[in-house]
Chains A and B, each alone.
Chain A
């Protein structure tokens, strides 16, 4: 699954640790999502969307869409 997490985080000038703290996850998890090695669960995807005030579809894009 592709995502725009890195760009959104950079736009806010947050480090991975800052974002991890806001989401209540570890920095490694943020890194794994950004590098598209791990797809977050639906609750975490909603948390990300709420944090950046966007819809899930605007941040995450399923492969082949």
Chain B
């Protein structure tokens, strides 16, 4: 029988963690993140570039993001039933919690709470930019790890 995939394969510090597997599953995610950060910097420094080119640069991370989603779904399908169930539940928790944080942040940004508190130029205000892919990725990873810890405790 084929050995099923394990969530621990992608968690640094765990016995089953493997850098090869990490790159195999999350490689496209890292490419997307790099394209996103690089693209934002390019657009910021070259605001005189044609709108078509800037649109292409801004939307470029969508392609690796879709490829990453495909590879991740395949990895999840390769798990046994318990881990597949746990991973799907953790993903649902992480996406719902991230959406909740964005919903809570929206009025704070809309009513200039960060500006009023003098945090406009701080790293916090930069991170709280709710358009940022970096914040989305960071929140998703944090909630994914938190959800994983809670669920592992339930089935331990």
Q: Which residues of A contact B (CB under 8 A)?
A: 21-26, 28-29, 32, 37-38, 40-41, 44
Contact = CB atoms under 8 A, between A and B. Distances in A.
B155 A25 contact: no
Interface string B1-14: 11110100000000
Contacts, number: 35
B82 A38 contact: yes
Nearest to B152: A28
A1 to B, nearest CB: 14
Contact of A26 (B6, B154, B156): B6
Contact of A22 (B1, B154, B156): B1
Contacts of A40: 81
Interface residues of B, number: 12
B83 interface: yes
Contact of B154 (A23, A24, A29, A37): A37
Contacts of A44: 81
A51 B63 CA distance: 45
A38 B81 CA distance: 10
Contact of A28 (B1, B3, B82): B82
Q: Give the interface centre of B3, B154, B155 by most chain A CB atoms within 10 Å.
A: B155
Interface string B116-156: 00000000000000000000000000000000000000111
A2 to B, nearest CB: 17
B154 A25 contact: no
